[in-house]
Structure 1
């Protein structure tokens, strides 16, 4: 008898929760047992207290960073998919432009972020550009591979029935590319958040639009290490939630028709 959906979900969620709880208990016990100062390594209870006491400020900072990451992810998706479609339609276009996509990916964002921030007067726009540059490559690469990874038998069937290039794109290439696209989207979601945080570090943004990176910098200057760890914790949780959201979107789109989802339920 196959396991129910609820029991399978519990089996997937329970082990990492148990490991995480054990790590937190060991961390708390070690800090108390060895009397580790909070400015060296704060205990989980001190971090939780910092989150509770500074909730309004941290939530505003979280929203500022998350807004940049989400806009960058949307732009990366639109740009990446457009370029992937162009690459598949014309090999010369791919040979001409794909190397530059690789160059953008391998160039450290901390090296070009100051230049972007100087050239772009709007700080928020500069942060979005930096995050988009980091997040776009997985979308381009995975979607391009997916659009090319079509079954030979299906391709012959479309050719026999004299399908147009547009029909082949909509009914053959795009469905074949969806698993690859969503795999790239899961990677890009985390990279967009990383890009937003790194760009905020470089920009040193402050004021009402300050993000979590600014809160980390300020906490470091003030030696408020529990608050620094609280901001880091929020970044980590946000990254996990973004990944889970993209995984849920993948499952919703692919449903039960693709092996990448049906095998997980076997």
Structure 2
């Protein structure tokens, strides 16, 4: 690890060590029951013992989240391009995309089970619904942010609608698009977990949401914490992959990615 990376990583690592130390000391000094708030050492121990189960559950949840995230990325861009094609279309349809942001996914999750059956499909759809709106909203903002003189120049040279979209609007929208994808990457994991709370599992596969529910019902709070940390790690992996992809694509020409 080079020095700049080490300097960047050292402060959060030190803060993490201090936080875990304070947590461990507080739980032991106050004699807090393990089933109420387990110490970090107990969470780490159960994480090591149940590593296989946690990894399998994370893979199951990760597959559903990845499907939902992929669908939201593709359809989100297509919807944003459609909305950007006309102010009238945007005014007519954009308010309905807000439904995706405001609807409580827990409330409609039972409907997803009825429509798609219990298991991965309902979980993936839940992930898709939760992660779609940020992609639409940020991509649309990017498409609308093109400077008018550049549009005028494209018109002056006789560029058609598709050429303007492909060579001007989409490149200008890329930073906004990746911002939406970063937000959607974390939300896709949240949507998958919530979907698992209701949709359950099939074909012998259980995700992190099922593991959280099982640990809660058994009062295995240490395992519950470990499952939550695994879900957070899954979200961080997906977020990191999107961030790295965006940085590599944008670093040569956009200031937002300079120095990454």
Common topology (TM > 0.5) = yes
**d(CA) in 1 for partners of 2:144 and 2:216?**
48
1:81 corresponds to 2:92: no
Structure 2 equivalent of residue 22 of structure 1: 18
Match among 168, 181, 185 for residue 185 of structure 1: 181
1:244-263 alpha-carbon deviations (Å, 9 max, x no partner): 2211111011013111112x
In structure 1, the residue matched to 2:29 is 33
C-alpha distance in structure 1 between counterparts of 2:233 and 2:54, whole Å? 13
**1:166 aligned partner:** 162
Aligned ranges 1:141-160 → 2 under 5 Å: 141-160=137-156
SS across alignment from 1:208: coil
Residues 113 and 202 of structure 1 are in contact (CA less than 8 Å); yes or no, is this contact kept in structure 2?
Answer: yes
Q: Distance in 2 between matches of 1:167 and 1:78?
A: 20
2:220 to 219, 224, 240: 224
Q: How many residues align?
A: 260
5+ residue gaps, structure 1, are none
Say if 2:97 is the partner of 1:92: no
Matched, 1:246 2:253: no
Distance 2:143 2:250 in 1: 16
Aligned residue among 111, 114, 132 for 1:115: 111
**CA distances 1:95-121 after superposition (whole Å, capped 9, x unpaired):** 232111101210100111111112222
CA contact (8 A) 1:142 1:183 kept: yes
Residue of structure 2 aligned with 1:261, choices 249, 257, 260: 257
Give the structure 1 partner of residue 61 of structure 2. Answer: 65
List, as ranges, runs of 4+ consecutive aligned residues in structure 1 with deviation greater than 6 Å: none
Which residue pairs with 2:101 in the alignment? 105
- Cα 1:121/1:202, change in 2 over 3 Å: closer
Cα shift at 1:207 = 6.4
Distance in 2 (CA, whole Å) between partners of 1:206 and 1:162 is 56
Deviation, 1:49, is 0.7
Go from structure 1 to structure 2 and tell me whether the alpha carbon gap of 1:164 and 1:206 turns closer, same or farther (over 3 Å shift).
closer
Where in structure 2 are there 5+ consecutive unaligned residues?
none
The TM-score normalised by the length of structure 2 is 0.95
Aligned to 1:135: 131
2-structure distance, mates of 1:207, 1:156:
57
- Contact (CA 8 Å) 2:119, 2:200: kept in 1 or not? no
Aligned residues of 2:62 and 2:189 also touching (Cα < 8 A): yes
Equivalences for residues 198-237 of structure 1 within 5 A: 198-205=194-201, 208-237=204-233
In the alignment, is the contact (CA less than 8 A) between 1:206 and 1:214 conserved in 2?
no
Q: What CA distance in whole angstroms lies between the structure 1 residues aligned with 2:12 and 2:6?
A: 11
Q: Deviation digits for residues 171-224 of structure 1, max 9, x if unmatched?
A: 110110000000000000001000000111122336621111111111111111
